[in-house]
Amino acid sequence: MHLKKTGFSLLFVLLALIGFTQNDTIYTEAGIMLVGEIKSLNRNVLTLDADYADSDFKIKWDEVVGVSSNSLLKIYTKKGGRYNGYLAYSDSSERIISVQSIPNNGAVALSDIVEISPLYEKFLKRIEILIDAGLSFSKANNLKQITTNSRLVYKANKWKSDISFTSVFTDQDEIDKTSRTEGKVNFSYDVFGKAYAFVGMDLLKNSEQKLDLRTTSKVGVGYYFVRTNGMFLQTGVGIANANEKYEGEQQSEKNSFEGLGSVEFNAFNIGDFSFRTKISIFPSFSHAGRIRVNGDASLKWDLPFDFYIKASYTHDFDSKPLAEGVPKNDYVFQTSIGWEFN
């Protein structure tokens, strides 16, 4: 009996020690030490899961002076460096930590680290979801506009998927109803350093441009010119194929083989605000002189409890539409309120 009690005591102590050794420690410039499990460093915010708190701790990366981890982490740096390993901290070196990884150990400044995530994180921790909607109404001409936006991002160890859906529906007295529906599916894979490869498909149905459906398939490579704790600037080049079905009396189907060039800028360390803009250019190889340009920009204001308010603008330009009577330009401005999960 005595041996059984001793065995249970030893087992309890062993489990307690194992649980303790799995903790990560965050040291802040205010002299506070936080203990828990690192969930992520993303967009200059470090998220820590602590058993003694009802919700996750979130602290700005600029306010962290040291990190020690007992869990295996995936770490990205500004210059495109990538480590899989553990972090160790010594207060003798200000904002410098050592990375214990295979095959190479090294020292990294905290200001050079732009992203951290557990190497073997759970499925839900890899997901980011954004959902928002907006409604506009004017009594004078009975104008009604409904907008919806959704986005799902999944990040694996070396690849990322990004799926989005946007719809705008407008109804007004004595004017034909208009609608614009767009869906995007994109996959990217880290090649080396700041370079990546991507493949994707864009779907657009737009009554203003008489598009019953445009399907754009694309493939190419990209590069992060800037990737810091506060922003990133990335570019991409590749090839694309656009299959277009036009509506109306002149129902027709056209195919366009195109080049692709894109630039995306994202600033997310400006207080409670974040700004994103992207421009994609599609010069046609099969229709001389035709150039399509897609651009969008959004300003997001984070609210408590993961809610946000967003203003966004989208513009489509086609220098030579492949059907008669189709306008060269179409644009949409939206304001919406939404909720974010990450």
pLDDT in tens, 126-161: 889 999 999 888 776 777 889 999 999 998 878 899
User: For residue 102, what pLDDT is reported?
Assistant: 65
Q: Is 114 helix (H, G, I), strand (E, B) or coil?
A: strand
Domain ranges, residue 66:
2-121
| Winning range, highest mean pLDDT, from 17-26, 44-53, 243-252 | 44-53
Paired tokens of 198:
């991507």
Name the percent of the chain lying above pLDDT 90: 54
Verify that 133 and 278 share a domain, yes or no: yes
- Give the Cα separation of 26 and 172 in Å (integer): 56
* 317 Cβ contact list (under 8 Å, min separation 6): 291, 292, 293, 294, 295, 328, 329
Residue 340, H or E segment? strand 329-341
Q: Are 94 and 141 part of one and the same domain?
A: no
Q: Which residues pair with 10 in a beta bridge?
A: none
pLDDT digits (tens, 9 = 90+) for 265-292: 999 878 899 999 999 999 999 999 999 9
Strands (E), 207-251: 211-227, 231-246
Distances (CA, A) of 184 to 141, 160, 199, 245: 33, 14, 11, 18
Q: Are 49 and 35 within 8 A, CB to CB?
A: no
Among 61, 92, 121, residue at a domain's last position: 121
Average pLDDT over residues 159-171: 94
Residues 232 and 316 in one domain: yes
Q: Give the H or E element holding residue 257.
A: strand 252-270
Average pLDDT over all residues of the chain = 87
**Distance from C-alpha of 251 to C-alpha of 254, rounded to nearest angstrom:** 10
- The neighbouring-strand residues paired with 309 are 301, 337
User: How far apart are the C-alpha atoms of 29 and 61, rounded to whole Å?
Assistant: 10
278, amino acid identity: K
Instruction: Specify whether 137 is located in the same domain as 116.
Output: no
Q: In whole angstroms, what is the distance from residue 160 CA to residue 229 CA?
A: 19
In the chain, helix, strand, coil percent, each to 5? 10, 65, 25
Pairing of strands 96-101, 106-109: antiparallel
Distances (CA, A) of 308 to 38, 130, 270, 281: 24, 10, 15, 30
Phi-psi region of 74 (alpha: psi -120 to 50; beta: other; left: phi over 0): beta
User: Based on the domain organization, do 83 and 210 belong to the same domain?
Assistant: no
Distance (Å, whole) CA 43 – CA 115? 8
**Stronger pLDDT, 204 or 342, i.e. the higher one:** 204
In this structure, the answer to whether residues 63 and 179 fall within a common structural domain is no
Choose between 302 and 100: higher pLDDT: 302
DSSP state letter for 18: H
Instruction: Based on the fold, state whether residues 19 and 77 are members of the same structural domain.
Output: yes
**Partners of residue 330 on adjacent β-strands:** 316
Residues 117 and 134 in one domain: no
What number is the average pLDDT over the span 305-311? Answer: 95
22 & 149 share domain: no
Q: ∠72-77-78 over CA atoms, to 5°?
A: 165
Give the DSSP letter of residue 4: H
Same domain, 54 and 97: yes
Please state the domain count of the chain.
Answer: 2
Within this chain, do residues 197 and 263 fall inside the same structural domain, yes or no?
Answer: yes
What is the gyration radius of the CA atoms in the chain, in angstroms?
Answer: 25
CATH number at residue 205: 2.40.128.130
- Which parts of 81-149 fold into alpha helices (H)? none
User: The pTM is what?
Assistant: 0.81
219, 239 in Cβ contact below 8 A? yes
Backbone angles phi, psi at 285, to 5 degrees: -90, -25
CA distance 87 to 239: 41
Higher-pLDDT residue of 40, 123: 40
Q: Which of 61, 91, 121 is the last residue of a domain?
A: 121
Q: Which of 197, 185, 295, 183 is nearest to 239 (CA)?
A: 197
Listed residues 121, 149, 183: the one ending a domain: 121
